[in-house]
Amino acid sequence: MFLKNILYHFGRYVMMLGTAISRPEKVSMYYRETMRQMNDIGIGSLFIVGLIAIFIGAVTAVQFSYQLDGTLVPVYYIGYVVRDMTIIELAPTFTCLVLAGKVGSNIASEIGGMRQKEHIDAMEIMGVNTAAYLILPKVIAALVVIPMLVAVGAFISIIGGYLASVPTGVMADADYIKGLRSFFDPFNVTMMFIKAVVFAFILTTVSCYQGYHVRGGSIELGQASTNAVVFSDILILVADYLLAVILTS
């Protein structure tokens, strides 16, 4: 039964995506909606992403400096670890997990509310491809904006590590900068953006699916919003592991 449900929902999910990526009827309408979604997802999430990122970098620096205490490892390694941990893992994963809660639940509630109020049914009667109009702009906006948010989050995390290390006397300014410049591999940045794109696609499409196929009243809508966050987070973590295996092999 469990496998049957998974296959059933996966099939509906794939069918929904196939309908959503079809050719738009009126490009100007899709362009305006995409710009609106980019503003909502990007500008609307900038503060929470920045707040989380600065503490991610600060905590990473503090924890690693604690691990280095009394060892022979050079102190500048703190900057090196903060940079690589932030770029490879913390910035894309934490940012997208948080956005799954903020953006994902909002998407599921918005589309689910339209389904419950029969707005989607009315649009379909008028011949509108509702899957494409409601889902495609959100996916495009997320694929463009979320990698930008991840890049900003990575930068702010490195600043957070600096603020937690240098002004507190853990290490000198020159040592932290030396660590940031040491052993740099440009592929790590590529890996960060690959993860950001994949995670953005997952959290957007899963949330759209939960809202688009919601049935019932307010309780079911609340469940759809919760499922959007839970399933998005689970799939993001699974994808994170698979990408780590593939990209580092």
DSSP codes, 150-201: HHHHHHHHHHHHHHHHTTTTSS-HHHHHHHHHTT--THHHHHHHHHHHHHHH
Whether pLDDT at 148 is above 90: yes
Q: How far apart are CA 10 and CA 220, in angstroms?
A: 20
Phi, psi angles (nearest 5°) of residue 221: -65, -40
Relative orientation angle of helices 91-99 and 218-248, to the nearest 10 degrees: 170
Whole-number pLDDT of residue 123? 82
Q: What is the percentage of the chain residues whose pLDDT exceeds 70?
A: 99
Mean pLDDT of 68-88: 86
Q: How far apart are CA 137 and CA 105, in angstroms?
A: 17
Q: How far apart are CA 108 and CA 228, in angstroms?
A: 7
Q: Encoding tokens for residue 123?
A: 């649009």
Q: Encoding tokens for residue 111?
A: 């589309």
pTM summary value: 0.91
Whole-number pLDDT of residue 25? 66
* Radius of gyration for the chain, computed over Cα atoms and rounded to the nearest angstrom: 21
4 vs 77, more confident: 77
Residue carrying structure tokens 């989380």? 52
Mean pLDDT of 73-96: 90
Tens digit of each residue's pLDDT (9 = 90 or more) over 174-200: 988 998 888 888 999 999 999 999 999
Whole-number pLDDT of residue 173? 87
Name residues whose C-beta falls within 8 Å of residue 40's C-beta, 6 or more positions apart in sequence: 106, 141
Mean pLDDT of all residues belonging to the chain: 88
Whole-number pLDDT of residue 49? 92
Q: What pLDDT band is residue 24 in, cutting at 50, 70 and 90? A: low
Whole-number pLDDT of residue 236? 95
For residues 49 and 153, is the Cβ–Cβ distance under 8 A? yes
Q: Encoding tokens for residue 235?
A: 């799939």
Q: How far apart are CA 86 and CA 23, in angstroms?
A: 38
Q: What pLDDT band is residue 23 in, cutting at 50, 70 and 90? A: low
Mean pLDDT of 38-48: 88
